[in-house]
């Protein structure tokens, strides 16, 4: 049987903003600012979405990128991040993801990373305010309202927020007939 399932990523909902989400967003914004193609995000290995902030912290906990490469610890990093062992070539894929997306963030100075995190935080706060104002207007009018310029930007923001949280995934299930044997 084949069907479409919807994965709901609660950690992506705007109400769930926290330090991990802020750092992951900062990493992605830094990558976009450097001109690297981000169409492949989220990075997925073995059906698991790779949390870039967790990858950054995990590599640092193993002594940094140089230590992980020299002592060939990518498999241990993958284990620490719970990447399935059955995933094909998980260590080299994790290495590639780190180099492409996280390394540009890692080489920033601490001050540059803090500035980036603050900019991301301000951007998120503005987005949250727009969504809340839109929601309040809709509650007050009892219907969907539009902005003063005639566009419906706030509702578009809300829909984009929902789209980021729900991802379609094809699933396949095989049913095995199980008949218990009853002994008298």
**What CATH number is given to the structural domain containing 84?**
1.10.150.60
Domain hosting residue 28, numbered range = 15-152
Residue 54 covered by a domain? yes
Q: What is the pLDDT of residues 70-110, one digit of tens each?
A: 999 999 999 999 888 888 889 999 999 999 989 999 999 99
Higher pLDDT, 53 or 142: 53
Residue 159 covered by a domain? no
Residue 141 covered by a domain? yes
Number of domains forming the structure of the chain: 1
Residue 80 covered by a domain? yes
Residue in the block written with tokens 């008298």: 184
Average pLDDT over residues 160-169: 50
Report for 37-46, 107-116, 167-176: range of highest mean pLDDT: 107-116
Residue 180 covered by a domain? no
- In which band, very low, low, confident or very high, does the pLDDT at 127 lie, cut at 50, 70 and 90? confident
Q: What is the pLDDT of residues 24-76, one digit of tens each?
A: 888 988 888 877 777 777 788 888 888 899 999 999 999 999 999 999 999 99
Residue 92 covered by a domain? yes
φ, ψ at 6 (rounded to 5°): -115, 120
> Does the structure show a pLDDT above 60 at 157?
no
| Tokens coding 87 | 């995933």
Which alpha helices (H) appear in the chain, and where do they start and end?
Answer: 19-33, 52-61, 65-70, 74-80, 90-97, 103-106, 110-141, 153-165
Prediction pTM value: 0.64
Residue 129 covered by a domain? yes
What is 29-42 written as a DSSP string? HHHHHTT---TTPS
């Amino acid at each position: 049987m084949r069907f479409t399932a919807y994965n709901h990523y609660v950690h992506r909902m705007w109400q769930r903003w926290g330090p991990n989400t802020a750092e992951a967003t900062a990493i992605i914004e830094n990558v976009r600012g450097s001109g690297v193609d981000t169409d492949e995000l989220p990075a997925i290995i073995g059906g698991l979405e790779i949390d870039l902030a967790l990858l950054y912290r995990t590599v640092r906990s193993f002594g940094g990128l140089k230590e992980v490469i020299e002592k060939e610890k990518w498999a241990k990093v993958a284990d620490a991040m719970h990447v399935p062992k059955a995933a094909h070539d998980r260590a080299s894929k994790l290495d590639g993801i780190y180099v492409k997306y996280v390394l540009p963030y890692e080489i920033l100075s601490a001050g540059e990373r803090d500035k980036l995190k603050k900019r991301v935080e301000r951007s998120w706060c503005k987005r949250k305010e727009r969504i809340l104002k839109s929601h309040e207007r809709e509650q007050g009018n009892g219907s969907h309202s539009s902005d003063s310029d005639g566009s419906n930007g706030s509702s578009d923001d809300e829909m984009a927020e929902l789209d980021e949280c729900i991802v379609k995934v094809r699933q396949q299930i095989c049913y095995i007939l199980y008949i218990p044997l009853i002994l008298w």
